[in-house]
Amino acid sequence: MPALRSVRPTRSARAVAALAAALVLAAAGTAGCGDDPDRGQKQDTGKTGSTSRPPASKSASKKTSRSTPPSTSRSASPRRSPALPDALTRQRPAWSRCPAPNAAQGEDAGSPTPLPGGARWECAKLKVPLDYDKPQGKTIGVEMIRAKARKGGGKRIGSLVFNFGGPGGSGVATLPSFADDYARLRGRYDLVSFDPRGVGRSEGVNCLSDKKLDAYFAADSTPDTKNEEKGLFARQGSFADGCEKKAADRLPHLTTENTARDMDLMRHVLGDRKLHYFGISYGTELGGVYAHLYPDKVGRAVFDAVVDPTSSPVRGALSQTGGFQLALDNYLKDCASRGGSCPVGEDPEEGKQQISELLTQLDAEPLPTDSGRKLTESLAQGGIAQSLYSKDMWEMLSQGLEEAMTDRNGTTLLMLADALNGRNQNGTYSTLQSSLTAISCADAKQRYTADDIRSRLPDFTHASPVFGPMSAWGLVQCHDWPVKGQWKAPTVGAQGSDPILLVGTTGDPATPYGGTRNMKKQLGEGVGVELTYRGEGHGAYDSKDKCVRARVDGYLLNGKVPADGSTCA
């Protein structure tokens, strides 16, 4: 049963069939050799303008490009880890040509072309402790990718680290597909991203064989009887067993907090005094946890498509259910305005009913597809949800609905579902959904029973007759998980941090708009600066809205903090 994720879809230049698969992941690119970042490029301190907060400590106020080792950084966390050994804090990444994208990252989009001017993408491994409480013990490798700042763009500020969401999305695969969007930022930053621990080439988790994952995602995720409930819980137990067999030593350590600690070691090894950061979707939660642990190490930071840090899994899933229903309603209104070309008619309410009826029919009798596989109810729900992450995909949703309802063929909706589930065109799977479950269950303490779900099902169905049941039963993803979770909700308070720009989109399905305000409150007085984008889709910056771009670029490049409460329409 797939979990709806909070990750920014990527783009692909391929034809329509490949476009659906490429929404989740793009490929890492080729690269040439690069300079060691610890040896010496003079850089801007990244100090913000007059509205920024004063440094949190004397060490943070020194105007120097020398980074502070993670072991001596001030931490607001109630739990401090032992100091890291010199072997980790003094490592120098061996930047070299990136390997071809692999199945674990998602290989369908192919390798990205060189950057303007002929510059190439570079990759390197960062060694991090598997267990930060035992930093002298076993290490794992975190795969990084970068594009060095272009010449002539201005004084270099440092590295700008991206996390595109998930949890479970490969940053190494995703960053190259958005290179054009971030071209201006590369004038003053090295653009950097990474596969977080447990993802892709960073000890990625994949819990079942490809054939078993096909069956797992196709199976009924909205049980109607006690026997179907037993089947659902049995599948979740088998999934958890598979994860334990393949990754037992890693599972306890695949937490968001540990990834935040990895980012601070990355900051230090890259030679930056502060972490300049662009977090999208789940990446905003990761950024909030980093800011809590290291408020004095936060540089210019942007959180786009903001996760609500106050939500329990139930509240978060219920809010997301409403967000996807809102996006579907907006699609139906747009579709109806197109007259006879809309496959579900000119009445949005009637269209919603037709989609619900289609799902009911698929529960009884799946549709054939051109691949020979079947489109089940669960796969169709996932495919519809996938198409709502971006307004650019509404046309494909119309195509898929037309095929399913008129031609009785599920090919397009199945391709969309495959994108949600991280299935490559050759039938292999990326680590996307396995990593998402592993990280989510290492983070969250909550575990839900069938009684819990049944008691909440009316609320979910009221929020969305289309997505409600799927979202409610999705809460059992941590059933029989071999590791206890760390928290009931992440702590993101970051008093003393420099300003963090929070960008919320009113029509965002995956991270509903209300989470932006809650993140602002939790960060603490004077830290969060709110910018509203009145638009559709998951994430504002990559919508290409000129107003959003101008304000975000103004902060990241020039330290100009927008007025709190600004709006872009």
Please pick, among 538, 542, 543, 545, the residue that the annotation labels catalytic: 538
Confidence grade of residue 154 (pLDDT, cut at 50, 70, 90): confident
CB 7 within 8 A of CB 282: yes
Residue 68: the pLDDT is 79
Q: Is 281 a catalytic residue?
A: yes
Residue 99 is predicted with a pLDDT of 84
Q: What mean pLDDT comes out for the span 374-384? A: 98
Average pLDDT of the chain to the nearest whole number: 88
Write the pLDDT tens digit of every residue in 34-91.
Answer: 333 333 333 444 444 333 333 333 333 333 345 777 844 443 444 677 999 999 999 9
In sequence order, the 6+-apart residues with CB closer than 8 A to the CB of 530 are 502, 504, 516, 517, 520, 564, 565, 566
pLDDT of residue 69: 78
pLDDT at 110: 63
Q: Of 71, 81, 170, 281, which one is the catalytic site residue?
A: 281
Tell me the average pLDDT across 100-123. 81
Q: What's the confidence (pLDDT) of residue 3?
A: 58
Higher per-residue confidence, 375 vs 12: 375
Under a CB-based contact definition with an 8 Å cutoff, are residues 511 and 319 in contact?
no
C-beta of residue 307 within 8 angstroms of C-beta of residue 515: yes
What is the C-alpha separation between 475 and 457, in angstroms, rounded?
Answer: 11
CA–CA separation, 16 vs 347, rounded Å?
27
Measure the CA–CA gap between 461 and 470, rounded to whole angstroms: 9
Mean pLDDT on 440-466: 97
> Quick check: is 508 catalytic?
yes
Interval 108-123 mean pLDDT: 78
Phi-psi category of residue 134: left, alpha or beta, with phi > 0 → left and psi -120 to 50 → alpha: beta
pLDDT of 18 above 80: no
Q: What is the pLDDT of residue 113?
A: 67
- As a whole number of angstroms, the distance between CA 503 and CA 547 comes to 12
Task: Examine the pLDDT at 5 and tell me if it is beyond 70.
Answer: no
532 or 45, which is more confident: 532
Average pLDDT (1-7) is: 53
Which is more confident, 56 or 164?
A: 164
Count of alpha carbons within 13 angstroms of residue 114, beta-carbon side: 9
Confidence (pLDDT) at 35 = 32
pLDDT, tens only, 251-308: 999 999 999 999 999 999 999 999 999 999 999 999 999 999 999 999 999 999 999 9
pLDDT for 468-481, tens place per residue?
999 999 999 999 99
Average the pLDDT over 452-459 and give the result. Answer: 97
pLDDT at 11 over 90: no
**118 has a pLDDT exceeding 90:** no
Average pLDDT over residues 193-208: 97
pLDDT, position 79: 62
With pLDDT > 70 as the criterion, what percentage of the chain qualifies? Answer: 86
- The pLDDT assigned to 152 comes to 83
State the catalytic residue, choosing from 508, 542, 543, 545: 508
Strand partners, 200: none
Q: Per-residue pLDDT for 137 more than 70? A: yes
